[in-house]
Amino acid sequence: MELGECQPNQIWVVDHFPDFVEPCVNESVYKIVNIQSGTVAHVEASGSVKGYEYNEGRNQLVSLFNWSCVAHLKFVDLRASEWEAIQQSSNPFLCSFKNILNGLYLSINGEFADNDTHIVATEHEFKWRLVVDPFNRDIYEIYVPYVNLSVDLQDDSKDPGTLIRLSNPKRAFHWRFEKVDIANRSAPVWETEYPGATSCECAQVKAESPKPEVWLEV
């Protein structure tokens, strides 16, 4: 097509990255990192998916009442920020994401996608369309297929517990998939962190005990 044939108001973008790159390797585990805030998509106990610092899961506060377990206790929240990518059919840009901690899928709240719909984790597999940025192939927008709604961190805030929702993008909402290497996904977190340690039934202690007045960060 000659330049004279171009219609007014057309915009052409030259592809800087002609080589094909998959956004995620099938069955690999990733942190889903918001580019603006640096926080990750994290599943809360309620099933809501919100923005948190990745190391907030690892550096949970543990009580001093159980010294025998303090050295081994790493709360499972770290795994709540890690997602297994599952490619759909032959399209590498159509993926679902299964949480490593609980096996729930990154999804939307309710049956229908709409502006401001909250992102949650559910038992039902949900497919997402990944759209690569034309100028940086390491970052993506995460869309509901066939709908002009993408995953957005509210106000690009770094605050723990920031809402993650669907928005009609007036600008790009970018995310990056950072691979996490887990030697044995079936092993508990404390066993992965401290090979050979005993569990001390730490998870049960954490769940059943009230928060004490004195806490220690490990």
Tell me the backbone φ, ψ of residue 66, rounded to 5 degrees.
-125, 70
What pLDDT sits at residue 21?
Answer: 75
Structure-block tokens of residue 214: 């004195």
- The pLDDT score that the predictor gives to residue 32 is 98
Q: What are the helix (H) ranges across 122-195?
A: 189-193
Count of alpha carbons within 13 angstroms of residue 33, beta-carbon side: 15
pLDDT of residue 18: 56
Q: What is the pLDDT of residue 19?
A: 64
34-60 burial, b at 16+ Cβ within 10 Å, e below that, comes to bbebebbbbbeeeebbbbbbbebbeeb
Q: What is the DSSP letter of 155?
A: G
Give, in words, the CATH class of 24-217: mainly beta
φ, ψ for residue 208, nearest 5 deg: -95, -15
Q: Interior CA angle at 128 toward 127 and 130, to 5°?
A: 145
Q: What is the DSSP string of 59-85?
A: T-EEETT-HHHHTT---GGGGGG-EEE
Which DSSP state fits 156?
Answer: G
Ranges of residues in the chain whose predicted pLDDT is under 50: 1-3, 56-76, 190, 194, 197, 201-218
